[in-house]
Amino acid sequence: MIDKRTSLEKAVENIRDGDCIMTGGFGVPGTPFVLIGAVLKKGASELTLIKNEANEDHMGVSKLIEAGRVRKLICSHLGLNATVIGMMNRGEIEVEFYPQGILAEKIRAGGAGLAGILTDIGIDTILMENKQCVEVDGQTVIIEPALRGDVALIHAAIADPFGNLVYEKSARNFNPLMATAANTVIAEVEKIVEVGALDPDSIHTPGAFVDHVVLIKEITQEYEILRHHAL
């Protein structure tokens, strides 16, 4: 069996300028901070970034954006990141917003080899502007093209060397969708068990979708509790 375990440096070595990078995570849970750090260190620029949100100011993908590495951000909202909102308002970064579940479905379609989805979400709003529409059963719906990435950066709790992944609690979010929708899928994981140790019924992402598995050495501070969100 192919052993997909690799070093952090090797996992990100083929990321190029201009790549489209999908990044899992919704807030801190599921955000692959170590992989993002490696991309930042590697120096790739002119990136298109697809993520639910841009993390919070000076954290995670916000560091890539603040360093000027991201040309375009495709996301659902930026409500907790005033820095990136400011950059967007000053025209320093292009931002494309989608309703959260539509963003998820566009990625799911990309991963499933479909050209796009049809939806009535956003009908009769400014979201319809410049969108292609089609009539289905007498109802006007928006055509939303599928999204795929050159690379997906994934965070999972447990993996085996084949790349079977298990996520934890609300850290699942966009990770299993993005893990299907990129040409190269890199998963950072908190623990690796031997092949056969995971219950097949509890695997969230089958290993066939995953190219590289990187064990993160420690749960660093950026993965920990954000005090300003705690009581």
Partner 1 sequence: MKFLDTMPYKEKIARRAAKEIAPGEVINLGIGIPTLIPKYLSPDKAVFIHSENGILGMGSLCSPGTEDRNLIDAGGNYVTINKGASFFDSALSFALVRGGRLDVAFLGALEVSGKGDLANWIIPGKFSPGIGGGMELAQKARRLIVTTMHTDRKGRPKILKSCTLPLTAKECVNTIITELAVMDVGPEGLVVREIAEGVDVQELIEMTDARLLVPSCEIPRF
Q: Which residues bind partner 1 (CB under 8 A)?
A: 26-30, 52-53, 56, 75-80, 85, 88-89, 95, 97-105, 107-108, 120-127, 157, 168-177, 204, 219, 223-226, 229-231
Q: CA–CA separation, 203 vs 207, rounded Å?
A: 9
Residue 63 C-beta: closest distance to partner 1, Å: 18
The nearer residue to partner 1, 1 or 225, going by C-beta atoms, is 225
The nearer residue to partner 1, 68 or 101, going by C-beta atoms, is 101
The nearer residue to partner 1, 20 or 156, going by C-beta atoms, is 156
Residue 108 C-beta: closest distance to partner 1, Å: 5
Residue 14 C-beta: closest distance to partner 1, Å: 27
Residue 102 C-beta: closest distance to partner 1, Å: 7
Q: Residue 14: exposed, middle, or buried by beta-carbon count in 10 A (0-12, 13-18, 19+)?
A: middle
The nearer residue to partner 1, 29 or 161, going by C-beta atoms, is 29
**Helix, coil or strand: residue 48:** strand
Q: Which of 36, 5, 48, 66 is nearest to 222 (CA)?
A: 36
| Residue 202 zone, left/alpha/beta (φ > 0; ψ -120 to 50; rest) | alpha
Q: Which of 41, 27, 103 is nearest to 69 (CA)?
A: 41
The nearer residue to partner 1, 15 or 149, going by C-beta atoms, is 149
- Are the C-beta atoms of residues 213 and 187 closer than 8 Å to each other? yes
Residue 45 C-beta: closest distance to partner 1, Å: 24
**Tokens 């298990």, located at residue:** 166
